[in-house]
Structure 1
Amino acid sequence: MATTPDSVTIRRATPADAAALAELGAATFTETFGHLYPPEDLQTFLAKSHSPEWWSGALADHNRAVWVIDHESGRKIGFIVVGKCKLPVQNLEPDAGEVQQLYVLAEFHNLRLGTRLMEAGLEWLASQRRSPLYIGVWSENYGAQRFYGRYGFNKVGEYGFPVGKTVDHEFILKR
């Protein structure tokens, strides 16, 4: 069955989605970045950052919003998390927002689903008067850097992002 714009629904996630988002978050992070880490570092990170408990907290946080893509098959295939900026930005503006996570399962890439999620997230950030906006992106994720560049994000800093004992070199982008 081919995936078309009519075969998916993008909606605001609810607390009932926490377990499915934990599974989807772990799957998308692993397929995108899992090859970069020793297995124990990856498992430590996933247990902390993609547990049902973490997702329950994120979904209950009034400073965050999460959208999920439901495929007609019943699978959840992508998501975006946006909210108050939590990146290590010097002199961070009090109303700064952040695109915290944006992932779509690889088999559904090139269907403009990331664009649809990004537009939903940016619309919510604007409705919350979050400005300026930031994104943290792995220094070697050139595709993501190009994608965010199309939305006017430019590199303004760098930081270390821990995945277990491994620390990734990340860029901070700002719009």
Structure 2
Amino acid sequence: MATIRRATPADAAVLAELGAATFVEAFGHLYTPDDLRAFLDDSHSVAAYAAVLADPGYALWIADDATGRAIGYAQAGRCGLPHADVRPEDGELKRLYVRAGIQNAGTGRALMDAAMAWLLRDGPRTLWISVWSENPGAQRFYGRYGFAFAGEYEFIVGAQRDREFMYRRPAQV
């Protein structure tokens, strides 16, 4: 079983490598090389992770295997999804990725549990997540946490527009 730890500013480079690698493993086949590179340079750079790690409105966790190698991560914070019902106090699980070949071993669940505890630390609030429309396994996973379909939007990577589903979990007492 992986060890889950809260990421610190010193982890920006580890997160950049892990974020880029897991995104490419999951979605790299969908994009042109130029669009993929531009997206990774923008969204999965050391500077991008350093900025998120410096913002107290966000938190990240890293899953390390027995050798200390980062094998997964989760990112949570304020909701930024384009849905009319999103409120300023709503939270969002922004990213949850585990390296290929390691899924279904409990690492994703452990990362999700850490993120959910942080998102709900001050009490119940509405939570959101987006997931690629062609990923029914992730959709079922989030459904087990009480998330239900709430709408869709286009996730843009260069010239590619992907159909992305938004899931919501109402505030629960």
Q: TM-score range by the shorter chain?
A: over 0.9
Aligned-residue offset at 1:159: 0.7
Query: Higher helix proportion, which one?
Result: 1
Structure 2 partner of 1:76 = 70
> Are positions 1:48 and 2:37 aligned together?
no
How high is the TM-score relative to the length of structure 1? 0.93
Aligned-residue offset at 1:165: 1.8
Aligned-residue Cα RMSD (Å) equals 1.1
In structure 2, the gaps of 5 or more residues are none
Aligned-residue offset at 1:130: 6.2
> Are positions 1:156 and 2:165 aligned together?
no
Give the SS at the match of 2:149: strand
Q: Give the one of 120, 127, 139 matched to 2:121.
A: 127
Structure 1 partner of 2:101 = 107
In structure 1, the gaps of 5 or more residues are none
Structure 1 partner of 2:58 = 64
Query: Deviation per CA, 1:122-143, whole angstroms, max 9, x where unpaired?
Result: 0000014462000011111111
Which runs of structure 1 show a deviation greater than 2 angstroms over 4 or more consecutive aligned residues? none
CA distance in structure 2 between the partners assigned to 1:135 and 1:174 by the alignment: 7
> Are positions 1:85 and 2:79 aligned together?
yes
Code of the aligned partner of 1:160: E
CA distance in structure 1 between the partners assigned to 2:20 and 2:40 by the alignment: 6
CA distance in structure 2 between the partners assigned to 1:139 and 1:34 by the alignment: 16
Query: Deviation per CA, 1:43-65, whole angstroms, max 9, x where unpaired?
Result: 11100000000000111111111
CA contact (8 A) 1:84 1:130 kept: no
Code of the aligned partner of 1:90: A
Percent of pairs identical after alignment? 53
CA distance in structure 1 between the partners assigned to 2:57 and 2:85 by the alignment: 20
How high is the TM-score relative to the length of structure 2? 0.94
Code of the aligned partner of 2:64: D
Query: How many residues are aligned here?
Result: 169
